[in-house]
């Protein structure tokens, strides 16, 4: 079973996903990294040059590729992946355990600011993250088999909770 991590940008999908993949001896696939490798440009460059619709199309393609792999993997899906119905269908497949990572907007803005490559309005990123969180909340819930609060929790605790969620998903 594939493990897909969803949630807002900065919720910890890449950090937690990398650790979970190491522990499970599975490949780790980050959709943003897959897009950047494919396009030879950063997510921010793609977003600003080609626009959101083009980016969303790439997002769907790499999610399909990641979940089509024969061996189980850990996939960190882009924050807006839930916006498209076809992506939500992929995340709800029987061979995918989808775990939603959650953190308050104040925590997210700190993490996103440290990364510097996210396509957020630079004038008020906290307001943008609050708005996006509210807009996407129901969609994240729709696809999630489990929800894990990342907040300021140590990575070991978050990792263990994600692993527990996977065990529940894989139980007959």
CATH number of the domain that 104 lies in? 3.40.50.300
> Mean of the pLDDT values across residues 94-105?
95
pLDDT in tens, 119-154: 555 678 888 889 999 999 999 999 999 999 998 899
pLDDT in tens, 80-89: 999 999 999 9
Q: Which residue has the tokens 């929800």?
A: 147
> Higher pLDDT residue, 79 or 100?
100
pLDDT in tens, 7-46: 998 899 999 999 999 999 999 999 999 999 999 999 889 9
* 145 within a domain of the structure (yes/no): yes
> For residues 2 and 95, is the Cβ–Cβ distance under 8 A?
yes
* 95 within a domain of the structure (yes/no): yes
Report the number of distinct structural domains present in the chain: 1
* 130 within a domain of the structure (yes/no): yes
* 158 within a domain of the structure (yes/no): yes
* 122 within a domain of the structure (yes/no): yes
Residue 74: which residues within 8 A CB-CB, separation 6 or more? 2, 3, 5, 17, 20, 21, 24, 26, 27, 28, 29
* 172 within a domain of the structure (yes/no): no
Query: Can you give the residue range of the structural domain that contains 26?
Result: 2-167
Judging by DSSP bridges, how do beta strands 96-102 and 74-76 pair with one another? Answer: unpaired
* 68 within a domain of the structure (yes/no): yes
pTM (2 d.p.): 0.93
Confidence band for 172, pLDDT divided at 50, 70 and 90: confident
* 18 within a domain of the structure (yes/no): yes
């Amino acid at each position: 079973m594939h493990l897909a991590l969803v949630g807002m940008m900065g919720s910890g999908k890449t950090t937690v996903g990398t650790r979970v993949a190491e522990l499970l001896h599975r490949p780790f696939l980050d959709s943003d990294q897959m897009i950047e490798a494919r396009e030879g440009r950063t997510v921010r460059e793609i977003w600003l040059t080609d626009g959101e619709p083009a980016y969303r199309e790439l997002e769907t393609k790499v999610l399909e590729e990641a979940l089509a792999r024969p061996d189980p993997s850990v996939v960190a899906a882009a924050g807006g992946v839930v916006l498209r119905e076809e992506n939500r269908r992929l995340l709800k497949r029987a061979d995918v355990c989808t775990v939603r990572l959650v953190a308050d907007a104040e925590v997210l803005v700190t993490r996103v600011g440290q990364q510097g490559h996210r396509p957020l309005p630079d004038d008020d990123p906290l307001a943008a993250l609050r708005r996006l969180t509210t807009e996407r909340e129901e969609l994240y819930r729709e696809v999630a088999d489990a929800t894990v609060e990342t907040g300021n929790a140590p990575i070991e605790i978050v990792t263990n909770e994600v692993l527990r969620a996977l065990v529940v998903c894989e139980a007959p």
